[in-house]
Amino acid sequence: MGVDMWAVGCLFGELLLGKPVFPGCSDIDQLSRIVHVLGNPNEECWAGVSNLPDYGKISFAEDRSGYSLRQHIKEGSEEAHELLSKLITYNPELRLSAADALKHPYFQVEPHPMAASELRVPSPGVFVDDDSMLSF
């Protein structure tokens, strides 16, 4: 479940930022971008991380102490950033569950979500490409 909530955090961050939070072009590049923002995972932020089978095989020299997710994603309210930081955290045991995320104050402050009955439904059609649509 922790992995799924990390993914939710990445999607939420992308909504705030308007682009991917960690836009890596390979596995190593992806890890490098995460470490650039969150720092190297260590026992202080993720108890037991050094016991993982591949821990220590890759390390990144950057010391990001003092840097934060908030500095990487400046958009959004304080509530949005608190929620984001509880989703994008190394230790999966510390990540919010889906149920706890929905109870977060971010979802209680203005603007409130629209009622389903108020949402506009797009007209049916056939999409030809990304820029055009044929209607019936």
Dump pLDDT digits (tens) for 112-124: 777 888 888 777 6
Q: What is the pLDDT of residue 126?
A: 60
Per-residue CA distances from 47 to 20, 54, 62, 93, 112 (Å) = 28, 15, 20, 10, 37
Question: Has residue 129 got a pLDDT over 70?
Answer: no
For 31-86, the pLDDT digits (tens) are 888 888 888 777 777 777 777 787 777 777 666 655 677 777 888 889 999 999 99
Thinking of the domain 2-135, which architecture would CATH place it in?
A: Orthogonal Bundle (1.10)
For 78-106, the pLDDT digits (tens) are 999 999 999 999 888 899 999 999 999 99
Q: What is the pLDDT of residue 85?
A: 93
